[in-house]
Structure 1
């Protein structure tokens, strides 16, 4: 009986090992090489809205025929909406040396401004371009003009680098977006 249990246990372990697990790809923060002055001392990154494919755990790529493909074996390391909001707030903080945080706002005093982003695209293409486009909104809490703007940015990457290259490109793209918003929406 113990032999049967041992064989069954080994079979289960072998089956689970054969199923494998997905590879998860983290986005590293690229170095900040500039400082940007903004008019606000504190900014809350409130909402980051992504298209459904970009909010999914799977890393999607646009093929030359326009179709989006993904694999359940290649996943983002963190929930994309949470990760992009954190990357954006950390990059804005590093660029501006101001008090910037993603929601929920962790401080007692309310922020001077709130930033929301609605992405229409956040996608890597098999041609080696990672593109982000959409609109940002800046709500001002005390006497100032609220504003909005469009963004459309791309970063090149080596498609032969696979998901790791895509993750590095996303990191650079979100840094570029933070710089763009700081210069155009938070001045």
Structure 2
């Protein structure tokens, strides 16, 4: 069976099996020890605004796209944390590890103002029937004083490991966020 057909068959099955249990199963994105390459940036401090997610991606339910194009989920298979908060915090942590800069989500927790502000607007974030986790959107960097504003689109697709259930989708989301943090550090914060 082709990988994309296998994913299309397995994800709804995994979601249906979870629906048979009494309480919902909650999934975290695994924390990896290695954030990515060390990338120097132009600012010592960066504030991240709350990441903007589409309605379905901001909900607790883990969504996937079926072969017909419909978005499906189950109220018995949930993210362990609010996706907006978790993604914002994960990106702050990853960018701080990769760049060595002081990076934090707003509200800015330090007395000195951040030298730059990062805003991320996600257009799509879900498991696709071809066996990938898709993360698309645009990011914006606004320096506090001087420098030029920057904006860039992103389109990230990472493979979802077999058997392509909720835990594997969560791991793929983590890999996609690491890739996004790398792109932001390389093209937006230099």
Partner of 2:188: 185
The separation in 1 between residues aligned to 2:36 and 2:29, in whole angstroms, is: 18
Partner of 1:110: 113
The separation in 2 between residues aligned to 1:105 and 1:33, in whole angstroms, is: 24
The separation in 2 between residues aligned to 1:69 and 1:19, in whole angstroms, is: 18
Q: Runs in 1 of length 4+ with deviation above 4 angstroms? A: none
Q: TM-score, normalised by structure 2?
A: 0.86
Aligned to 1:48, what secondary structure does the other structure show? coil
Deviation at residue 29 of structure 1 after TM alignment: 2.3
Structure 2 unaligned segments of length 5 or more: list them: 1-19
Checking the alignment, whether the CA contact within 8 Å between 1:88 and 1:178 is kept in structure 2 is yes
Deviation at residue 175 of structure 1 after TM alignment: 0.7
Deviation at residue 103 of structure 1 after TM alignment: 1.1
Partner of 2:95: 92
Aligned to 2:170, what secondary structure does the other structure show? helix
Aligned to 2:51, what secondary structure does the other structure show? strand
Q: Match for 1:62 among 60, 65, 71?
A: 65
Structure 1 unaligned segments of length 5 or more: list them: 1-17
Checking the alignment, whether the CA contact within 8 Å between 2:21 and 2:76 is kept in structure 1 is no
Question: Cα RMSD between the aligned structures?
Answer: 1.3
From the CA coordinates, give the structure whose radius of gyration is larger. Answer: 1
Q: Match for 2:178 among 171, 175, 179?
A: 175
Partner of 2:169: 166
| 1:32-43 matches, cutoff 5 A | 32-43=35-46
Checking the alignment, whether the CA contact within 8 Å between 2:131 and 2:164 is kept in structure 1 is no
Tell me the number of residue pairs that the alignment of Structure 1 and Structure 2 aligns: 170
The separation in 2 between residues aligned to 1:47 and 1:152, in whole angstroms, is: 19
Taking a change above 3 Å as real, the CA distance of residues 175 and 33 of structure 1, as seen in their structure-2 partners, is closer
Deviation at residue 28 of structure 1 after TM alignment: 1.5
Deviation at residue 158 of structure 1 after TM alignment: 2.4
